Amino acid sequence: MNPLLEQIMETTKEEIKGIKRSIRGKNRPEDLPEIRDFTTAVSRPGQIHLIAEIKYASPSTGVLSEKRDSLKISTAYETAGAAAVSLVTEKHFFNGDIREISLLKQRMRLPVLRKDFIMDPVQLEESFLYGADAVLFIARILSPAQLRELICAANAFGLHVLVEIHDETDLEKALACGAKLIGINNRDLNTFQVDPGVTARLAPRIPSACVRVSESGFRSAQDIQRFISQDIQAVLVGTALMKSTDIFAAARSFVEAGQELPW
């Protein structure tokens, strides 16, 4: 495993200890909207949907945006026609903030995916308390037993689950644990290299009953065209949007590209 990934996981484990103390006795605010149907939002037939991500930094690309205005960004995404918003909440390496989920949920209508390094059920309780509609699990960093436990816990809170895979072993694990919404990460978490061919290789192996999402490596809207034949229902795009000088226009271009399919 990549040393940086190991460091992120160790830091997350320390964070989990604090979460267990901080949410003790805490209730979900009554003014938060109910959980929204993330799965349906990203899988309606007839187009490839955009899951637009808010991410301020990453270990592989550094700082993506010095300015922080998640509400303004999410509003641009929603107006552009995105199907859902992904919010990276890991704070030490990605400059995220889980508290922003509540703000987004109260001010827009799109479902919100919490993207983080989730390894303990208490993080799902935390996700629910802050208003997340869906959570991402990384198959690579979880044992089959852990993944099953987390999926079960997420279901108990009513949260939708996107299980991220990168190779055949990850896919077998995800399917064995009952994953129905599968994200194919084109980025190798061991090398941080991006290969769009990962989606082309793995997508045909995913049962048709599952929803397929392709993640990472989308530099422009034209990149969506390569997945026309792969039966991908959605793409998750973050870096290209966050680096854009016009986030609305960039998001709109991805949305329109996903609508211009010969189906």
Mean pLDDT check: name the lowest of 59-68, 114-123, 252-261. 59-68
Query: Has 105 been annotated as catalytic?
Result: no
Catalytic position from the list 185, 186, 214, 253: 185
- Of 66 and 114, more confident: 114
Query: Has 185 been annotated as catalytic?
Result: yes
Q: What is the pLDDT of residues 147-168, one digit of tens each?
A: 999 999 999 999 999 999 999 9
Query: Has 216 been annotated as catalytic?
Result: yes
Catalytic position from the list 58, 70, 216, 253: 216
Query: Has 172 been annotated as catalytic?
Result: no
Catalytic position from the list 15, 53, 78, 125: 53
pLDDT reported for residue 262: 57
pLDDT reported for residue 25: 76
pLDDT reported for residue 261: 60
Query: Has 30 been annotated as catalytic?
Result: no
Domains (range + CATH), the chain = 47-257 (3.20.20.70)
Q: What is the pLDDT of residues 219-240, one digit of tens each?
A: 888 888 777 767 899 999 999 9
pLDDT class of 211 with cuts at 50, 70, 90: very high
Q: Got the DSSP string for the chain?
A: --HHHHHHHHHHHHHHHHHHHHTTT----TTSPPPP-HHHHTT-TTSPEEEEEE-SEETTTEES-S---HHHHHHHHHHHT-SEEEEE---TTT---TTHHHHHHHH--S-EEEES---SHHHHHHHHHHT-SEEEEEGGGS-HHHHHHHHHHHHHHT-EEEEEE-SHHHHHHHHHTT--EEEEE-B-TTT--B-THHHHHHGGGS-TTSEEEEES---SGGGGGGGGGGT--EEEE-HHHHT-S-HHHHHHHHHHHHH----
